[in-house]
Amino acid sequence: MEKPIVQIDNLTKRFPVGNSEFTALSHLSLTIDKGEFMGLVGPSGSGKTTLLNIIGSLDTPTEGSVEVMGQSIATLTHKQAAILRNYHIGFIFQSYNLLPVYTVFENVEFALLLQNLSADERKKWVMQALEWVGLTDKAKSKPSQLSGGESQRVSIARAMVKRPQLVLADEPSANLDARNSHHIVQTMKKLNKELHTTFIFSTHDEKVMQYLDRIVSLKDGMVEKDEAVLHIQN
C-alpha cells in the first residue's frame, strides 16, 4: 500500500502566552492519503489553522510526530522545509496575497522562480495554470482589476503552477459570495481529479463542505469526528 501523504501521531502544540502556555492541539492523530479532498472544520479557535501551519512546515510540533511526504516536520532544516514548501506544497489563503504591482501572469510565475526552468517553460506552465482556473484572458491584468473570485482563482493558479502533491487551503472562500465559492471549490475538485493533488481545507463554509470527501471536526485541539462523505450522483 502507498504511504500516506500526511501521517500525524499524538501531536500536541502549545504556544507560550505570558508566563504560561496555551494548548492549541492536544494528542491529535490523523492519517491523510494521497489524492484525498478533505477538510478540517470546527469552531473558531479549535486549531484548524495551527494544524495546517504544521503540515505546511510553517510551524513545528511541540510533541508528537508529523510526517509529510515521508519527512518528519520536526527535524527538517530551514532549507529542507523551504524545499518542501517551494516544490511540493501549494498554499491558498483567505486573503489572496497577490502582489499588487505585478500582473496576474507575474504573480503566478513567482511560484516558479526558485525552480530551474527556462523563461519559455515558465510561460508554458503559467499559461497552463491560468487555463486550469479559466483566467488566460486576464494574464496581463493587475490584481486591482480583478473581482474577489478572480483573485482567488489566481491564487489557486499560483498554488497549482508547480504541480504540488499537496495543497493547503485555509478558509479559501471566506471572502467570496456563494457563486464564487462554488466556482473555486469546483475548480479545485477538478484539479484533484485530474492531477491527483491532495487537498486539505480549513473551512466553516457549508458550500465548501458539500464537495469534500472527508470531514474531520476539531474541537479544543482534538479530533471530535472523522467522517467520510458519501456523494450521491444524480
Ligand X SMILES: Nc1ncnc2c1ncn2[C@@H]1O[C@H](COP(=O)(O)OP(=O)(O)OP(=O)(O)O)[C@@H](O)[C@H]1O
Of 43, 35, 37, 46, give the one whose Cα is nearest residue 13: 46
| 29-52: burial string, b at 16+ Cβ within 10 Å, e else | ebebeebbbbbbbbeeebbbbbbb
15 binds ligand X (CB under 6 A): yes
Q: At what angle do helices 148-160 and 119-132 cross, to 10 degrees?
A: 130
44 binds ligand X (CB under 6 A): yes
Query: With CB under 6 A, what is the number of residues at the site for ligand X?
Result: 13
Report the alpha-carbon distance of residue 31 to residue 18 in Å, rounded: 33
94 binds ligand X (CB under 6 A): no
- Can you tell me which of 6, 11, 37, 49 binds ligand X, judged by CB under 6 A? 49
21 binds ligand X (CB under 6 A): no
φ and ψ at residue 21, rounded to 5 degrees: -135, 150
- Can you tell me which of 5, 6, 8, 24 binds ligand X, judged by CB under 6 A? 24
61 binds ligand X (CB under 6 A): no
12 binds ligand X (CB under 6 A): no
Indicate the residue among 81 and 216 with the shorter CB distance to ligand X: 216
45 binds ligand X (CB under 6 A): yes
Return residues touching ligand X (CB under 6 A): 15, 17, 22, 24, 42, 44-50, 202
